[in-house]
Homo-oligomer: A and B are copies of this chain.
Amino acid sequence: MAKAPPKGFPSVEFEARTAKAQTAMDKAGLSGLLLMSEAEVRYFTGFHTLFWQSPTRPWFLFVPAKGKPIAIIPEIGAKLMRQTWIDDIRTWNAPNPSDDGISLLTELLSPLANQSATIGMLKGHETGLRMPLGDFERLIANLPGLRTEDATGLVRSLRMVKSPREIEKLSYICAIGSSTFGRVPEFAYAGKPLDEVFRSFRQAALDAGADDVPYLVGGADQGGYHDVISPPSAKPLQAGDILMLDTGATWDGYFCDFDRNFAITRADDLSRRAYDVLWRATEAGIAAAQPGTTCRELFHTMQSVIAEMDSSGGDVGRLGHGLGMQLTEWPSHAAFDDTIIQENMVLTLEPSLSYGDGRIMVHEENIVVRSAGAELLTTRAAQELPVI
């Protein structure tokens, strides 16, 4: 496997991201961006911690129209934030339910409110508000002149296209994932409980160099699995089961997200056929993922192969998505998404279909889009359903 790339990013990376954001903000008439979710705070600062697991404390980053971003964060994060390129770090002794950063934000934003300025926030698809809604309502009430606009499109346009350093990290974690899937035949066999298979998979991913395996789902059942989001049962694998494992492992804060299907001891004909259809749908997706194509076109390209066996369109809502600091990111390969695919996007191709008696099958590969077309980051799945 390839050598690990350097961890983190040099300041020049964050300077470039901030400059691009500020150009886009200028065009959009925004006087700043108020951000508060893990991926966005990390995108502009490099602040990287598992502490986001705790919902107790809110964290804020303000990207002004000019100059470096300003961090408004709990004091517990100050030391780590001081190691980033950020200079202006304002902290409070959190948690403090009566004032969890609201005074500091009010002070920062008051001059903009006095000018009736507009700032951007994430209000759109695939976003949430990572602060108490009541605090947000109070903040807005404190700043009567301030206008807030949805800046999801702006942030998405930046984050969807990855830098060479981001692609290095994504490529590395995809290689770790591929190496891990290569070892599945060692630990998945008839008689082994599914939850133990999951445990072995996590161990193997850590062995291969993953920092963590935040996402691991799958299923196994006779002649095909029924569900792709369940935690594993303790039911032992049996001959004739179709086993699927789908993982989001991380390295330096970047995810892979792909799956593999296996037949335990023997494979039924219908599952073989479903596998073949999805393998070819993925192949069509790889060929179609060219700069200039839309996600909608990519979706229809894959869907037209899937329709050989299932014309329902399935129930997963899309056939792939963006990939980066989050397991799933914009865009979506779906009929509703007319995003134009660009060079250096990192994407999943994830065709799925329903078959037989309520079975579902999903295939997934990860690609980076180059000027000449898709380049696989994952080791391509076997052309025929592997029997192990």
Contacts and interface: CB of A to CB of B under 8 A. Distances in A.
Contact of A132 (B100, B128, B318): B128
Given A202-B206, A231-B50, A133 B129 contact: yes
Contact of A76 (B124, B129, B137, B229): B229
A94 interface: yes
A134 B124 contact: yes
A362 B164 CA distance: 39
Interface stretch (A19-27, A209-217, A268-276, A286-294): A209-217
A217 B211 CA distance: 12
Contacts of A313: 93
A113 to B, nearest CB: 19
Given A76-B316, A315-B76, A230 B134 contact: no
Contacts of A326: 54-55
Interface stretch (A167-175, A328-336, A372-380): A328-336
A95 B332 contact: yes
B227 A80 contact: yes
A127 B123 contact: no
B315 A93 contact: yes
A3 interface: no
Interface residues on A, range: 35 or more
A356 to B, nearest CB: 15
B317 A93 contact: yes
A95 B317 contact: yes
A186 interface: no
A226 B79 contact: yes
Contacts of A130: 128
A132 B137 contact: no
A78 interface: yes
Given A51-B229, A132-B127, A56 B321 contact: yes
10 contacts: A49-B229, A56-B126, A75-B315, A76-B229, A79-B227, A96-B336, A97-B124, A122-B132, A195-B211, A214-B214
Given A48-B231, A124-B134, 10 more contacts: A50-B217, A51-B229, A80-B229, A96-B317, A129-B129, A129-B133, A203-B203, A211-B231, A212-B213, A214-B214
3 closest A-B pairs (Cβ-Cβ)? A123-B134, A129-B129, A97-B125
